[in-house]
């Protein structure tokens, strides 16, 4: 079965839920979601050449959003229900998706001067109401796709701005470093997407690093689940602890790095390590996370990072990309705290 790459809900969590006796509807929904997987990955660069042979982008500095409705089918893109200049509709999922796409666009533009996912004004497309009780949201290479959840364990996914920012960030990664979705580069892919998801929420709400929750997917669990979110960037491994779903498996340190052949080599699991490095960097520096820590991570991503980058290679890239020595010091300390870099103050004998 396809491991639903780029989906916000990892396959190991759906597999656990599929065996649930406590949540029969959610168990059936998880089984159906696992069987459905996701459409084949597709890539698209939204640029064109005019009659004079010049490169032309579709738009410059404003979002161009289109929301479609799959009407509970698994056929994409679905029926267009709201375009950029249209007013809000009666469907909350449509409006939430529309607003989330816009919030991500504004963060990319305001924080990094990046015009949409490809840096050249790519349209932002999304489909809501995908499948029946579909327990995931994903980026398929050209659009965001949202399931409605099963109602027992997962709510609809359009209500989480961190989920939307995370999934659209896969589009940014696709157009920049193109990090391989396996092992450490895959975990970096997931982590950088979490960074962008968190920054989208913080930018939208005007939160400082100290005010932020650093939770990814807060609110997508129902009250029946013992958990606050899918992941905690500041405290990996603490987002949920439920009798049916198990305990959040994310490690916070390289000493607990999980070696596994599942989840594309643990991409949703080991991303906790670089996640914590970013959250520590941002909270150490204080202020708005997108201004210094976020800009450093963005410059590292877009500054020639190789697609097979390891945690150590990305750590080195972030230190090199730091805008000043204070940022470099905080970044180096964070990567040391999570065990990716060695503590230079310790002697070899220690």
List active site positions: 167, 268
Are 9 and 140 within 8 A, CB to CB?
no
Three-point CA angle 244, 248, 254, nearest 5°: 150
Quick one: which H or E segment has residue 28?
Answer: helix 24-36
Of 255, 270, 250, the residue nearest 310 (C-alpha): 270
The conformation of residue 97, written as its DSSP 8-state character, comes to H
The conformation of residue 44, written as its DSSP 8-state character, comes to -
Are 257 and 174 within 8 A, CB to CB?
no
The conformation of residue 289, written as its DSSP 8-state character, comes to T
Are 299 and 278 within 8 A, CB to CB?
no
Of 30, 97, 40, the residue nearest 69 (C-alpha): 97
Give me 65's structure tokens.
Answer: 């959003």
Residues with Cβ within 8 Å of 139's Cβ and at least 6 positions away in sequence, in order, are: 6, 145, 167, 168, 170, 171
Max intra-chain CA distance, the chain: 68
Residues with Cβ within 8 Å of 7's Cβ and at least 6 positions away in sequence, in order, are: 38, 136, 137, 138
Residues with Cβ within 8 Å of 62's Cβ and at least 6 positions away in sequence, in order, are: none
Please state, in angstroms and as integers, the Cα–Cα distance from residue 38 to each residue in 17, 124, 217, 327, following that order.
Answer: 18, 19, 20, 39
Within 13 Å and on the Cβ side, how many CA atoms surround 64?
A: 13
How remote is the C-alpha of 260 from its chain's centroid?
21
Give the bridge partners for 215, in sequence order: 232
């Amino acid at each position: 079965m396809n491991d639903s790459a780029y989906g916000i809900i990892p396959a190991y969590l759906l597999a656990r839920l599929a065996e649930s006796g406590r949540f029969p509807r959610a168990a059936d929904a998880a089984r159906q979601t696992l069987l459905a997987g996701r459409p084949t990955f597709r890539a698209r660069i939204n640029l064109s050449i005019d009659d004079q042979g010049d490169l032309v982008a579709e738009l410059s500095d404003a979002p161009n959003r289109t929301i479609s409705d799959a009407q509970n089918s698994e056929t994409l893109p679905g029926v267009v229900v709201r375009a950029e200049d249209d007013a809000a509709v009666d469907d909350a999922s449509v409006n939430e998706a529309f607003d989330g796409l816009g919030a991500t666009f504004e963060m990319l533009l305001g924080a990094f001067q990046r015009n949409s996912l490809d840096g050249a004004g790519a349209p932002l497309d999304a489909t809501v109401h995908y499948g029946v009780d579909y327990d995931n949201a994903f980026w398929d290479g050209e659009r965001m796709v949202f399931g409605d959840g099963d109602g027992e364990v997962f709510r609809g996914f359009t209500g989480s701005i961190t989920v939307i920012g995370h999934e659209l960030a896969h589009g940014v990664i696709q157009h920049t470093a193109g990090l391989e979705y396996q092992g450490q580069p895959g975990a970096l892919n997931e982590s950088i997407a979490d960074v962008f998801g968190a920054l989208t929420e913080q930018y939208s709400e005007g939160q400082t690093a100290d005010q932020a929750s650093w939770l990814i997917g807060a609110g997508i669990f129902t009250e029946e689940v013992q958990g606050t979110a899918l992941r905690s960037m500041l405290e990996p491994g603490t987002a949920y602890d439920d009798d049916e779903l198990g305990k959040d498996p994310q490690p916070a340190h390289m000493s607990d790095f999980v070696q596994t052949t599942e989840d594309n080599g643990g991409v949703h699991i080991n991303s906790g390590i670089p996640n914590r490095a970013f959250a520590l960097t941002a909270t150490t520096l204080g202020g708005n996370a997108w201004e210094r820590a976020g800009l450093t991570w963005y410059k590292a991503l877009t500054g020639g990072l190789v697609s097979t980058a390891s945690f150590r290679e990305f750590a080195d890239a972030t230190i090199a990309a730091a805008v000043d020595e204070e940022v470099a010091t905080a970044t180096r300390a964070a990567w040391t705290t999570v065990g990716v870099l060695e503590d230079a103050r310790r002697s070899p004998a220690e």
